Structure 1
Amino acid sequence: MAAIQKGIAMSLPAILSHLRLPIIGAPMFIVSGPELVIAQCKAGIVGSFPALNAREKEGEPPLLDAWLTRISEELDRHNQANPDSPAAPFAVNQIVHRSNARLERDIEICVRHKVPLWITSLGARPEVNEAAHSVGGVVLHDIINNSFARKAIDKGADGLIAVAAGAGGHAGTQSPFALIQEIREWFDGPLALSGSIATGRAVLAAQVAGADLAYIGSAFIATAEANAVPDYKQMIVDCGAEDIVYSSKFTGVHGNYLKPSIRNAGMDPDTLEGSDASAMSFAEGQSKAKAWSAIWGAGQGIGAVNAVQPAGDYIDRLAREYEAARRALG
């Protein structure tokens, strides 16, 4: 796959500068697994998954180890068979939160597998960055404001993921324009933008605004390889931005969720009470309590999703839209 050089900043490390499209597939709880990551990487964008998604039963060997072996071996076979269109690198998301009892173990596994890209969330810790750097890994830390961005870089992250208003998961509230321009006042390193990006035109817009990469999650829920139940995938197709509610009810931290899934759980999405951040815990492998397992997250960009399809087909569509938008701008 030919690299798209125009529009990609010179600040990008080599591992991120030869992608088919300047896109990172965002790691999503439960939804992102080896099948989706492999499909994304083969199609030329970074695929990623949260380490906590790999949950083995008690007494079994670490599933994360098996997942990393499978991903590496399948991508290596693809590269040998397709030397002119090698797969993009993959990333593992580490939840750096005090309640994540698996963090140290998962870091050791990622070091052993020499994971090339690390995405850190909910806390910036120098020792995690040092572990990634010990095997040549690149660390991108997700943030929701400029203050957190500065702290992440001060603690050794290589780059940033600016999570702006409208993003799926634990989203921020700032306009992408405001967030990107403040970060670019002082930081010229790798920068990805998250928030309602679901088309190739939006990918180009993220670059024009000052980001190097687009960070896309919710649209990939409606793909064949996503680990989501059919009703969840169809709800992504059927809903739009007006069907998203921003609430701290389910994890203690504000995030974006699908209104129909809240109604299906017997609640009124327009009258939800908030919850305190102390309620967040990753002790069970995910931030939401089991009682909220059918409350489904999504960002405001899902109005662009009109079908459940293979991830590769969706990425092909993004590529066509991206090139068309570039041509339209001359």
Structure 2
Amino acid sequence: MNVQEMAGKLEIPVIVAPMFLVSTPAMTLAACSEGLMGSFPAHGTRTREVFEQWLVEITQGLKRLHEDASGSKIAPFAVNLVVHPSNTRLQGDLELCIKYQVPVVLTSKGAPTDVIARIHDYGGVVLHDIASQRHAEKALEAGVDGVIAVAGGAGGHTGTINPFALMNEVRRIYRGPVVLAGGMTTGRDVLAAQAMGADFGYIGTRFIATAESSAPLGQKRMIVESNATDVFFSASIDGAPANWLTKSLLAAGADLDVLRTTLPGKVVAAAETRKRWKDIWSAGHGVGNIDDIPSTVELCRRLKTEYRAAAGVFRSAALPTENLQDGTKQAPRAIA
């Protein structure tokens, strides 16, 4: 399968982002059943054995969905592999991806050179996280099938560059598939990402507040109650740039002023007294547009309706070409 074939299997160009301690097989299957690509991170499972159990559950679930499908599209699923040398599970998790022929592998945090050939051998697609033009250059040199442009405003580990600027820089060097991540919560946002030059939208935070998400109810409610200004950026929690829910940091005893001046990787002592990933919660800038906790299926249907409605508005707003007084043609215009 190549990226073009992958796109043809989707109802709308959306990948539900893999989220640590949030994504579940139920969420993944629900998204796939609605024609959106579901995903989960391999490292989100406690052991390699649990990872395999999830792969079995999803592959068998997709088989049943295909058997029961009545003409509707069933999307493929994806797995996120951290390819940084610090990930001691990488080789074992990679072997399981190969064993179960995971259709799409989302690689992150490092150069995926050694991984790509093995995934390509069974026909899998590799999309790699990037946060700058230089990251994109390195990923393309390694032979990835496409890049995931993580812009400022994304939840969890995030980029810092404005999505317009990041898309423009990536498109200066690359005409292939690009997935844009950062702050999207609606189908209209996905269409806007395509207008900016992306091929797919990557939506994460919006899916934290769903019934199938394994996030604590407190995190879901905090997302519903938060605005973009309630998201705090710091590289000092775990050494990488990330966006966090401010209220969860305060509840964990973190001093925000100290966090702002702490070097990356030097976790604030107060926060160290809590179980970091259990009590400190991440989210992106899109929280201000989230006000309910639907099922994954309901949310996917909402996104499809929004995307198609927005596409219809843009098509109908295109004015016909008209002759100007000087005889030249006036190009059609699109109005948001």
Normalised to the residue count of structure 2, the TM-score between the two structures is 0.88
Q: Flag the 1:277–1:133 CA change in 2: closer, same or farther, 3 A.
A: farther
Match of 2:196 among 200, 203, 209: 209
Give the 3-state SS of the residue equivalent to 1:272 in structure 2: helix
| Cα distance in 1, alignment partners of residues 228 and 83 from structure 2 | 30
Q: For residues 285-320 of structure 1, what are the alpha-carbon distances to aligned partners after superposition, in whole Å with 9 as ceiling and x for unaligned?
A: xxxx93453110000011111101101111111111
Aligned to 2:302: 317
Q: Does 1:86 align with 2:69?
A: no
Q: For residues 224-278 of structure 1, what are the alpha-carbon distances to aligned partners after superposition, in whole Å with 9 as ceiling and x for unaligned?
A: 0001111111111111101001001211111000011011112233541455556
Q: Alpha-carbon deviation of 1:190? A: 1.2
Q: Flag the 1:129–1:79 CA change in 2: closer, same or farther, 3 A.
A: same
Aligned to 2:6: 15
| Higher mean C-alpha deviation, range 30-39 or range 138-147 | 30-39
Aligned to 2:251: 264
Q: Alpha-carbon deviation of 1:186? A: 2.2
Q: Alpha-carbon deviation of 1:121? A: 0.4
| Cα distance in 2, alignment partners of residues 211 and 136 from structure 1 | 23
Match of 2:293 among 296, 308, 311: 308
Matches of residues 20-31 of structure 1 in structure 2 within 5 Å?
20-31=11-22
Aligned residues: 308
Aligned to 2:321: none
Q: Does 1:143 align with 2:138?
A: no
Q: For residues 181-239 of structure 1, what are the alpha-carbon distances to aligned partners after superposition, in whole Å with 9 as ceiling and x for unaligned?
A: 11112212111000100011111000000000000000100000001111111111111
| Cα distance in 1, alignment partners of residues 171 and 36 from structure 2 | 24
Give the 3-state SS of the residue equivalent to 1:161 in structure 2: strand
| Cα distance in 2, alignment partners of residues 279 and 211 from structure 1 | 35
Aligned to 2:330: none
Aligned to 2:331: none
Give the 3-state SS of the residue equivalent to 1:139 in structure 2: strand
Match of 1:128 among 111, 115, 120: 115
Aligned to 1:285: none
Q: For residues 2-39 of structure 1, what are the alpha-carbon distances to aligned partners after superposition, in whole Å with 9 as ceiling and x for unaligned?
A: xxxxxxxxx94202233111100000101012111111
Percent identical residues: 44
Match for 1:26: what amino acid?
A
Checking the alignment, whether the CA contact within 8 Å between 1:171 and 1:254 is kept in structure 2 is yes
| Cα distance in 1, alignment partners of residues 55 and 218 from structure 2 | 29
Matches of residues 40-51 of structure 1 in structure 2 within 5 Å?
40-51=31-42
Checking the alignment, whether the CA contact within 8 Å between 2:37 and 2:76 is kept in structure 1 is yes
| Cα distance in 1, alignment partners of residues 119 and 7 from structure 2 | 16
Unaligned runs of 5+ in 1: 1-10, 281-288
Q: Does 1:113 align with 2:100?
A: yes
With a CA cutoff of 8 Å and minimum separation of 6, indicate the structure with the bigger relative contact order.
1
Q: Does 1:70 align with 2:57?
A: yes
Checking the alignment, whether the CA contact within 8 Å between 1:161 and 1:193 is kept in structure 2 is yes
Unaligned runs of 5+ in 2: 268-273, 316-336
Checking the alignment, whether the CA contact within 8 Å between 2:228 and 2:285 is kept in structure 1 is yes
Checking the alignment, whether the CA contact within 8 Å between 2:10 and 2:36 is kept in structure 1 is yes
Give the 3-state SS of the residue equivalent to 1:133 in structure 2: helix
Checking the alignment, whether the CA contact within 8 Å between 1:24 and 1:216 is kept in structure 2 is yes
Q: Flag the 1:90–1:307 CA change in 2: closer, same or farther, 3 A.
A: same
Checking the alignment, whether the CA contact within 8 Å between 1:12 and 1:212 is kept in structure 2 is no
Aligned to 2:148: 161
Q: Flag the 1:227–1:292 CA change in 2: closer, same or farther, 3 A.
A: closer
Checking the alignment, whether the CA contact within 8 Å between 2:45 and 2:51 is kept in structure 1 is yes
Match for 1:324: what amino acid?
A
| Cα distance in 1, alignment partners of residues 225 and 202 from structure 2 | 22
Aligned to 1:296: 281
Aligned to 1:100: 87
| Cα distance in 2, alignment partners of residues 119 and 276 from structure 1 | 29
| Cα distance in 1, alignment partners of residues 68 and 36 from structure 2 | 18
Higher Rg: 2
Match for 1:186: what amino acid?
I
| Cα distance in 2, alignment partners of residues 291 and 235 from structure 1 | 17
Matches of residues 137-286 of structure 1 in structure 2 within 5 Å?
137-273=124-260
| Cα distance in 2, alignment partners of residues 126 and 270 from structure 1 | 40
Checking the alignment, whether the CA contact within 8 Å between 2:237 and 2:264 is kept in structure 1 is no
| Cα distance in 2, alignment partners of residues 291 and 254 from structure 1 | 15
